[in-house]
Amino acid sequence: MSDEWDEKTGLIYKEIITEHKNNLSLAKKEQNNIRIMEILLSLRLNALQTNPDLRKNFIDELVKNDVLFINENKNNHFIKYLLNIHSYQIRHSILSVLSIITSTLNGVNYLLSNNFDILIKIIEIMKGTEDGQVLQRFCISILNKISIKEETIEVFLKYGIIDWVVKLLQRSKINSINSFCVDFSSALLANIIRSKTTLAFLENNNSVCRNLMETFLSMIREKSSQTLLKHFIICLGYLDEQRFDKVKEECRFHKRIDEFYEQFYKMETNNEEEEILKHKILDLCKYIFPINGEKKNNVYGGNKEARNYENIIKDFEKQKGAIIFECFQDEVC
C-alpha cells in the first residue's frame, strides 16, 4: 500500500464505496436506470479525484467491495444489463467505470472472474460504434488493458480484432480519427501479436501471417505518428522469428526493413524535437532487426523505447507507478 494510504484513508474510501454500492443495489431493484447512471458517474468522479499514487488502492477497494455485484451474484448480469441498453449515457457511465477498474491487474481479474461475456460485449460495442467516438475510446482502453491476460487472446482472435484494428488504422490514413483510438488500438494490436497464442496461431496459418506481415511492412512506409510507427515496428519484431522464416522470405522481410531504415534515415526534419523522435525510431529498428545484415542486439534488450514497451506490460502486471484514468473533453452529449 502507498505510504499515504493509511487506515483512516482506507476507512473513508470504504465508506464511500459501500454507500455507492448500496445505492446501486436499490436503484437496480427499482430498475431506475437514470439513478444507476448518476451513481456510476459519482463513483467515477471519486476515482478521478483520487491522488494518482493512491488509485491502485481505490481500485482494490472497488474490487474488495464487489461494487458491480460480480462475485455476489456469481454472474455478470448487472454489467451486461447496462451494456445492452442502447443509450449513450448509460453505456458511457458503465464503460467509464470499467475503464477505471481495469487499470490494475486485480481489476482485470475481477472483471473476468466469471467468464468472458463482458469482454465479448465490449468488443461488440467497439465494433458497432462510429470511429473515434467516446464510447469506442473507452472500449479500446478497456480491451487494451484486458489483452495483457494471455487467456483472453483466443477471444480477440475469434472475434477478428487483429483485422478490425488494422482496418481502423488504415481508415485513419484516409479520414481523421481521434488520436486516442489510433494510438491505443495499435497498442492493443501489439499486445495481441506478442502473445504466445497469437504467434502459435500465425505459425499454423501461413496465409494469415503473410497478409499481416505484408500489411505491417507496407504501413511503416506511410506517414504515421511516432506511437503508431513504434507499435508497427514492435509487431514486426515479434514476427522476426525463425519459425516465420519462409513467410519472411516471401515478403522480403529484412530487405524491406533495411529499405525503410534507409528511407527514414534520410527523412528531413523541421526541428530538434522531430530529429529526436526520428532517431528514437531508428534506434528501435537497430536494436530489434539486423539492419543491413549487422547482427542485432538482444531483441528488446538494448533500446529504451523497446524496453519501455515490455516494461509497460510488466509494470501493469506488477502495478508500478501512478495510474492515469481516461477522461475526454467531449464526453458530455
In whole angstroms, how far apart are CA 72 and each of 65, 67, 93, 106? 10, 9, 21, 17
CB 65 within 8 A of CB 17: yes
Rounded distance between C-alpha atoms, residue 239 and residue 121, angstroms: 30
Helical packing angle, 196-203 and 206-219, nearest 10°: 110
pTM to 2 decimal places: 0.89
| pLDDT tens, per residue, the chain with 333 residues | 445 666 777 788 889 999 999 999 999 999 999 999 999 999 999 999 998 888 999 999 999 999 999 998 788 999 999 999 999 999 999 999 999 999 999 999 999 999 999 999 999 999 999 999 999 999 999 999 999 999 999 999 999 999 999 999 999 989 999 999 999 999 999 999 999 999 999 999 999 999 999 999 999 998 888 889 999 999 999 999 999 999 999 999 999 999 999 999 999 889 998 888 888 899 889 888 887 766 444 443 344 455 455 565 555 555 556 788 888 888 864
Rounded distance between C-alpha atoms, residue 204 and residue 207, angstroms: 9
Residue 139: count of CB within 10 angstroms of its CB: 26
Q: Residue 118 burial (CB < 10 Å; 0-12/13-18/19+)?
A: buried
Nearest Cα neighbor of 155 from 205, 197, 100, 207 is 197
Rounded distance between C-alpha atoms, residue 103 and residue 55, angstroms: 9
